[in-house]
Amino acid sequence: MMEHITDSLNLKTNKRLEIVDITRDLNNLIQTNNFKNGLINVFTRHSTSAIAINENEPGLINDFQNKLELFIPIDSNYQHNRIDNNADSHLRAFFIGSNETIPVRNGSMNLGTWQSVFFIELDGPRNRKVIVTLIGEK
């Protein structure tokens, strides 16, 4: 029987730009909900954060942060900064995206060997909520 489960992760970030591996938390939600096969969608409700999949290797994480800061610097003359001084965070989120959908097989995400799921804080520190939707079978 097809199931639809909605849950969430509450995160507290500590830096303006922070990349948080949430893979273990997502697999825990899958197991807590006794979910077996289907899809998991991970969505951030915040326009200054993002969700991405990649390798959790410290050098790569550092390279990614450096490129974000190079390509979309904090201190540019952005029109949006007249409102709340975080245009760089919004622009970065535009490029990264707000969600990922991953297959679930036998009670865990069917990620590649080196893949992890990341919550990317772009305007922290903040308290954030990530919405997790499971569709499939228990």
**What does the pLDDT look like over 60-74, one tens digit per residue?**
999 999 999 999 999
CATH number belonging to the domain at 1-52+101-138, selected among 1.20.140.70, 2.60.40.420, 2.60.120.460, 2.60.40.10: 2.60.120.460
Please report the pLDDT score of residue 17 as a whole number: 97
Mean pLDDT, rounded, of the chain: 97
Please report the pLDDT score of residue 2 as a whole number: 87
pLDDT in tens, 83-124: 999 999 999 999 999 999 999 999 999 999 999 999 999 999
DSSP tag of 33: T
Whether 125 shows a pLDDT value over 80: the answer reads: yes
| Two structure tokens written together for 93 | 């989120």
Burial (Cβ within 10 Å: 0-12, 13-18, ≥19) of residue 54: middle
| Two structure tokens written together for 61 | 């994480």
Whether 81 shows a pLDDT value over 80: the answer reads: yes
